[in-house]
Amino acid sequence: MFGRFFSFLLFQFAAALAGWLIAPHGRPALGALVGVFSAGLLWVAFDLLRGFRVLGWLRRGDMSDAALSGGLWGEISERTRRLVRSREQQARDSELRLQEFLAALQASPNGVVLLDSQRRIEWFNQTAATHFGFDVQRDLLQHFGNLVRDPRFAAYYASHDYSRDVTFPGRGSKPNRPVTLSVHIHPYGKGRQLVLSRDVTALEQAEAMRRDFVANVSHEIRTPLTVLSGFVETLQTLPLEEPERERYLALMAQQAERMQILVNDLLMLSRLEGSPLPAADGWVSLSSLMQRLEEDARALSAVLCQASGGRAHALSFDVQDKLEIAGSSSELLSALSNLVSNAIRYTPCGGKVHASLQVLEGGRAEFAVTDSGPGIDAEHLPRLTERFYRVDRSRSRESGGTGLGLAIVKHVAQRHNAELMIESTPGRGSRFALIFPSGRWRQEHRRPEASQMASDQRVEITSTSLS
């Protein structure tokens, strides 16, 4: 600034001197004055020119280069350029941060909707769009309350008490495919609101399943318990003859056994759900298991058919390939024995039950049980492995069923990477097969402890379902 002022003075002085020297005789002072004035005009004109160039440059807005170099206007343009570029950089950084923030909200598994102070939709993520059926083009700046019309939500929205969430059926919810949303509003800033939505269908279903399960277990236990306490009361109050007393005690033992079977199956299920997966390198000989299964199947058939006065079942057990399966012996035994005992229990006495073990074409191994029983209608097949699902309730109860057998089989199959295949034709019989992938079986290697293991397993089979 000082340099510029000094240059101006120097220029004026030079102009004054020039005026002084070239002025006519006797008028050097006037000449100097004219010189100073003309120099001043020239300086201002030149300055204006540079100022207009800077103005033009500002108007164009192209900040890639300074408008001028040097001088006051050069410095103004350079400083302006630097200021604008630094602001541009700041704006770019802010935009980037905003985009990253929105991308994080977009990646959220929850639906996020931002409402302005008039409760209009400012922004929402894709999950919220799915939950509420929003469309970016159509619904931005619409009032949120006009778009989500469920009465439970409307009451919550109007209450202004957002200390809890509200659940209501989500968009596209149907009786056969329900969708449940949980929505929670969080006020923030100056009258703004953040709406969080969660799909809680699976949670709700799990909760409903838990409630059903508790109700089912209570119901299953209550029946034998009621019978049992009735007999206890009779024994306590009535003076009974010995044969009658014995009959009552036998019936009580039967009910107690029924409860015990149920508790065993429940414990088995909870072990299957809660324990780590069985090791894939513990080998279980299925062919030895088949021998034990056959003995127990014959015993079960004899008990059931003697009681009803019928002929025992025609049983055949066919080990085509001697195989070992990698997994847990107690789990496999439980699954196979459930399939065999079901076939016997649901096939009328004198009917056929055939169990087989073989390697299939393609390298998978199959354990299958085929019976000539009543078969199962196709509509029941998808639900057979649900806990307590029974097609023939009375037959299941009469023959000591708990309604948990196939649920156990399904869990064991999953834990051994096996597939449970059920084929059935009403009136002609059923076929239940467990199919193990190629990496899960091998040809049997006889070991000295195999027979010991098989006899250990026999304890399981009798206690889980053939008893």
Residue from 182, 430, 457, 464 touching ligand ADP (CB under 6 A): that is 430
Q: Segment 37-96, which members bind ligand ADP (CB under 6 A)?
A: none
**Count of residues near ligand ADP by CB under 6 A:** 22
Minimal distance, residue 326 CB to ligand ADP, in Å: 25
Tokens linked to 215: 């109700």
Binding mask 281-320 for ligand ADP (x = CB under 6 A): ----------------------------------------
Site for ligand ADP contains 464 (CB under 6 A) = no
3-state secondary structure the chain: CHHHHHHHHHHHHHHHHHHHHHCCCCCHHHHHHHHHHHHHHHHHHHHHHHHHHHHHHHHHCCCCCCCCCCHHHHHHHHHHHHHHHHHHHHHHHHHHHHHHHHHHHHHCCCEEEEECCCCEEEEECHHHHHHHCCCHHHHCCCEHHHHCCCHHHHHHHHHCCCCCCEEEECCCCCCCCCCEEEEEEEEECCCEEEEEEEECHHHHHHHHHHHHHHHHHHHHHHHHHHHHHHHHHHHHHCCCCHHHHHHHHHHHHHHHHHHHHHHHHHHHHHHHHHCCCCCCCCEEEHHHHHHHHHHHHHHHHHHHHHHHCCCCCEEEEEECCCEEEECCHHHHHHHHHHHHHHHHHHCCCCCEEEEEEEECCCCCEEEEEEECCCCCCHHHHHHCCCCCCCCCHHHHHHCCCCCCHHHHHHHHHHHCCCEEEEEEECCCEEEEEEEECHHHEEECCCCCCHHHHHHHHHHHHHHHHHC
Site for ligand ADP contains 457 (CB under 6 A) = no
Site for ligand ADP contains 384 (CB under 6 A) = yes
Residue from 376, 412, 435, 461 touching ligand ADP (CB under 6 A): that is 376
**C-beta closer to ligand ADP: residue 411 or 440:** 411
Binding mask 346-365 for ligand ADP (x = CB under 6 A): x-------------------
**C-beta closer to ligand ADP: residue 17 or 269:** 269
Site for ligand ADP contains 402 (CB under 6 A) = yes
**C-beta closer to ligand ADP: residue 13 or 213:** 213
**C-beta closer to ligand ADP: residue 115 or 404:** 404
Tokens linked to 246: 């014995």
Minimal distance, residue 327 CB to ligand ADP, in Å: 20
Site for ligand ADP contains 411 (CB under 6 A) = no
Which range binds ligand ADP by CB under 6 A, 54-62, 148-156, 305-313, 366-374?
366-374
Minimal distance, residue 262 CB to ligand ADP, in Å: 9
Minimal distance, residue 371 CB to ligand ADP, in Å: 5
Distance from CA of residue 432 to its chain's centroid? 30
Minimal distance, residue 125 CB to ligand ADP, in Å: 43
**C-beta closer to ligand ADP: residue 19 or 373:** 373
Site for ligand ADP contains 372 (CB under 6 A) = no
Which range binds ligand ADP by CB under 6 A, 72-80, 170-178, 251-259, 382-390?
382-390
Residue closest to ligand ADP, measured at CB: 405
Q: Which residues contact ligand ADP (rule: CB under 6 A)?
A: 338, 342-343, 346, 371, 373-374, 376, 384, 389-392, 396, 401-407, 430
